[in-house]
Chains A and B, each alone.
Chain A
Amino acid sequence: GENVEQHPSTLSVQEGDSAVIKCTYSDSASNYFPWYKQELGKRPQLIIDIRSNVGEKKDQRIAVTLNKTAKHFSLHITETQPEDSAVYFCAASQGNFNKFYFGSGTKLNVKP
């Protein structure tokens, strides 16, 4: 089955700095890679996703890059704000309706 690894487990940055979270996956058949943000006690919310036919996607301060050859993808958050503080999960999925395999999560702390 798919194995998704995520690093770092915790990340502390100063407000305004950039944050980068990296994930690797093992199954080359995976073709959909979402990133979820989970605040304490709340449900995960999608923040950005990328499909395997695209190398990079950007949405305002958030961007995701995908390297299919190396089987890794990264989340980039620029100009971080305190409200970005949360746990971020990457995931990998294959095909329609297929299950998601999540990374172990990164706790991001943005210090004001």
Chain B
Amino acid sequence: GAVVSQHPSRVICKSGTSVKIECRSLDFQATTMFWYRQFPKQSLMLMATSNEGSKATYEQGVEKDKFLINHASLTLSTLTVTSAHPEDSSFYICSARLRPQANTEAFFGQGTRLTVV
């Protein structure tokens, strides 16, 4: 299957600092990527849809000024958690779908465990 790579896999940062998470499609071009947040033992909550060359679309309740998304190329989307607080600590995971012509599976990155201290 297609490969989506996410970096870093783990990050610890101090309150008030910003953290950037990268999501790359390694062997395909992804005009659209998705960012999810997962709390322990809970489901994947969609945060936003990242669109190459245009603004991201955020789900209701997600602060776009706090979670900055940039999709500057067909293979890279970044999520920046700005002014991080301990409550932002979570597992963040991205995904991308392969083809526009038909409904296809989403391939997930390996996730990033963010801990804000």
| In the complex, B13 has a CB within 8 A of chain A | no
Residues of A within 8 A of B (CB): 1, 31-32, 34, 42-46, 49, 51, 89, 93, 95-97, 99-105, 107
Q: Say whether chain B's binding surface is mostly helix, strand, loop, or mixed.
A: loop
Q: A97-B100, A100-B95, A102-B46 are in contact. List 5 more A-B contacts (CB 8 A).
A: A42-B111, A46-B105, A99-B46, A99-B49, A103-B43
Q: A34-B105, A43-B110 are in contact. Are A97 and B31 (CB under 8 A)?
A: yes
Please measure, in the bound complex, the distance between the C-alpha atom of A9 and the C-alpha atom of B111, giving whole angstroms. 22
Please measure, in the bound complex, the distance between the C-alpha atom of A8 and the C-alpha atom of B91, giving whole angstroms. 23
Task: Report whether A102 and B93 are in contact in the complex, using a CB–CB cutoff of 8 Å.
Answer: no
Q: Which of A89, A96, A97, A99 makes the CB contact (< 8 A) with B43? A: A89
Q: A31-B103, A51-B103, A100-B34 are in contact. Are A43 and B109 (CB under 8 A)?
A: yes
Q: A34-B106, A43-B110, A102-B43 are in contact. Are A96 and B93 (CB under 8 A)?
A: no
Task: Report whether B103 and A32 are in contact in the complex, using a CB–CB cutoff of 8 Å.
Answer: yes
Q: What are 27 A-B pairs with beta-carbon distances under 8 A? A: A1-B60, A32-B103, A34-B106, A42-B110, A43-B93, A43-B108, A44-B93, A46-B1, A49-B105, A51-B103, A89-B43, A93-B103, A95-B103, A96-B99, A96-B101, A97-B32, A97-B100, A99-B34, A100-B44, A100-B46, A100-B95, A102-B36, A104-B42, A104-B43, A105-B41, A105-B42, A105-B43
